[in-house]
Structure 1
Amino acid sequence: MKQNVGNIERAIRILAGIAIVSLAFTGPKSPWAYLGIIPFLTGIIGWCPPYAVFGISTCKRTK
């Protein structure tokens, strides 16, 4: 898997994922909060499946 998520977007995804998952423990008890695992994992891995399908990449290109 080639990375297709840039560094800034990765940081945002990780923070957003942590915030969403934390709602499962601190806010309204909803199983939907566990969907925060998705942006967290795509941020950690640096690869987003929908980006791959549509040919999108936010990584800087190296020459």
Structure 2
Amino acid sequence: MNFDLTKHNVGSTDRLIRAVAGAVLILSTFLGGHWVGGLIGAVLLVTAYFRFCPAYGLFDFSSN
């Protein structure tokens, strides 16, 4: 279990996928989707921005 926020564990392809999926989920919330989708989209955008995923840290996984 590694929660060192200074070490990135999200790679560039994973980061791009997270950012696009997060933006789509947030946009779908404004177009009539459920607020939970917007929340998940915000989490995806934050993990893409910081390049750190707590779930990856929990399982010592890195896509970097």
Pairwise same-fold verdict (TM > 0.5): yes
How far off is 1:31 after superposition?
A: 1.4
Structure 2 unpaired stretches of 5+? none
4+ aligned runs moved over 6 Å, structure 1: none
TM-score, length basis structure 1: 0.84
The two structures, once aligned, show a CA RMSD in angstroms of 0.9
For the pair shown, the structure with the greater C-alpha radius of gyration is: 1
| Aligned residue pairs, count | 58
- The two structures have a TM-score, normalised by structure 2, of 0.83
Taking only the aligned residue pairs, the percentage that are identical comes to 31
CA displacement 1:27-60 (0-9 Å, x = unmatched): 33x211222101111111100001001000011x
